[in-house]
Structure 1
Amino acid sequence: MQDQAQGLRRLFSASKTRFVPVVSNPRVADAGALLEGLCAAFSELDLKTLVVDAGEHAPPPSELARVDMADCIERLSSRVSYLAARGLALRHTNAHGSAAAFLDAVAEAAPEADVILLHAPAPELARIVALREVRPLLLADADPLSVTEAYAGMKWLTQRAGLLVYSLLMACHPQLRLATRIAQQLHSCADGFLGAVLRDWACLDPRASQQAALTPELRHLARELLLAAPPGAAVGAAGGHATPLRPARARPSPFAAAH
């Protein structure tokens, strides 16, 4: 594990910013703790992360963000920064319906960031990352409604953005047996109904201390997300003109709320 971490540090020492899309889930009460845990895992690799929060419950962006986004970035620690960005990507949408230019603006505003973590609803992510080589991270907890919401986000991105590989991070105790069943169910439904793959998953206990919450599974998930995001694959790709795909025809799913 240590050798792999050192390899990632060397990889990042001469590369562009990585982009990690996180599908927001309004049904997950501890989504903030999940994002903090992911940032902590990146920090262990000596990486600087900018959290671009465009989730449903995120604060609205400052009016200054239109003219000087860099001045609106809040530094939370030596390795983690935060940008309130709810609805901000829509201001960068072009005539093709693509908001890919938003990534260019964010990368320009935070050139020191090794990782840009964009937390946003699936429809907004689809406009930003359609046809990109990235792996979205789904969020959930033990509540069935949160699992349904996670599946709905995966379905939207699979059909509208052509993204077929996902990871999952759950807010619950790592030894909870229900978590394994949830991950297996999402994996089965992704494969059987969407032709997608749930590649890996991990848990984070929101009640645990930050260091204790960084389980080997979470550290592995963080490294896999980085390796699945080649430098420059999202930022600046395709000249910002990628257009979200039309909905693909899929088999009915067992998640009624996902329709």
Structure 2
Amino acid sequence: MVHNPHVPGAGVVMERLCAAFAARGLRSLVVDAADTASPPHELASVDLGACVEVLSPSVSYLAARGLPMNYLDSRATQVGFIDALRIAAPAAQVVVLHAGALDLRRMFVGRTPRPVLMAGPRPDSLTHAYTSMKLLSQRLGALAYDLVVSGDVGIRRAERMAERLTDCADHFLGAALRDMAVVDPHAPPQATVPADMQRLAAGLLPATAQTAHGLADLPPLPASTMPQRRPASVGRLN
């Protein structure tokens, strides 16, 4: 999940994703490595697994702000962080990794992730989402994305935002949005997961993850389906 500083409620988005995965009987590990996250436990560099906090039978959490830098190698990648997560939480079937695009492109060198972008009510949030898409598509070859719109945004406005991002992604990057969901950051945690988020979460899972496997057995995450191409309405996204 790509961090967007202009979007409120990233924590709620992660909660909703985990709830959707839990509804499928899957155990999630939330790793918050964004620059707004809590710092990691002081033991993280010694025993990462001991720093994983169990929040519920289906969700565990790891505060990881700045932690991926501990795995920076001679090629300036952080791929060792992904491997360390597999070892630290082998029972997790899904990892919800929240980080900035610059960190994600170092973590996923040699892999092609299926990133989840975020946008919100502020116009600059959509610009930031496109900038992240551009970086990840050029550096990692990631061309399939999902979009979660978080905040006080109606479904029609969210659809227009998704269409605009779809147009620019297709026209300038050859990339595509697979699916879009809207999250209300004020909804109670017990609220039913909306159908659009359930669909988006299901699309993120490879076929092998639909049943019980541990994180160590799973490939990197995928995504779902989105609007058809329309003539590009460029705006300020390029």
Give the structure-1-normalised TM-score: 0.79
CA contact (8 A) 2:7 2:151 kept: no
Could you say which residue in structure 1 is the equivalent of 2:199?
220
Tell me, what secondary structure is at the counterpart of 2:25? coil
Q: Name the structure 2 match of 1:136.
A: 115
Shift of 1:175: 4.5
- Residue 118 of structure 2 is aligned to residue 102 of structure 1: no
Q: Which has the higher helix share?
A: 1
User: What 5-or-longer segments of structure 2 have no aligned partner?
Assistant: 210-216, 222-233
1:202 aligned to 2:175? no
TM normalised by structure 2 equals 0.85
1:59 aligns with 2:45: no
**Structure 2 counterpart of 1:93, from 72, 81, 101:** 72
Q: Secondary structure at the match of 1:202?
A: strand
Q: Residues 127, 193 of structure 1: CA spacing in aligned structure 2 closer, same or farther, 3 A cutoff?
A: same
CA RMSD of aligned residues (A): 2.0
Using the TM superposition, give the Cα deviation of residue 229 of structure 1 relative to its aligned residue in structure 2, in angstroms. 8.7
Contact 1:39 1:49 in 2 (8 A): yes
Give the Cα–Cα distance (whole angstroms) in 1 for the partners of residues 218 and 72 of structure 2: 20
Partner Cα separation in structure 2 for residue 63 and residue 172 of structure 1: 34
Q: After superposition, what is the alpha-carbon deviation per residue over 1:113-164, rounded to whole angstroms, capped at 9, x for unaligned?
A: 0111110000100011134132100011121111111111111111111111
Q: Label 1:208 to 1:232 Cα distance change in 2 as closer, same or farther (>3 A).
A: closer
Separation in structure 1 between the aligned mates of residue 70 and residue 143 of structure 2, nearest angstrom: 27
- Provide structure 1 residue ranges, at least 5 long, that are not aligned to the other structure: 1-21, 236-252
* More deviation, 207-216/192-201: 207-216
2:10 to 7, 31, 34: 31
Judging changes above 3 Å, is the alpha-carbon distance between structure 1 residues 27 and 135 closer, same or farther for their aligned structure 2 residues? same
Q: Determine whether 1:119 maps to 2:98.
A: yes
Q: Does 1:233 align with 2:214?
A: no
Following the alignment from structure 1 to structure 2, what is the Cα–Cα distance between the partners of residues 143 and 126?
25
Rounded to whole Å, the distance in 2 between the matches of 1:106 and 1:216 is 30
Percent identity over paired residues: 45
Q: CA 1:149 to 1:34, structure 2 compared with 1: closer, same or farther past 3 Å? A: same
- Name the structure 1 match of 2:228: none
Match of 1:184 among 154, 163, 180: 163
Secondary structure class of the residue paired with 2:60? strand
Write the mapping of 1:34-53 to structure 2, written as runs, cut at 5 A.
Answer: 34-53=13-32
Offset from partner CA, 1:173-211 (integer Å, 9 cap, x none): 674321110000010010011111111111111222335
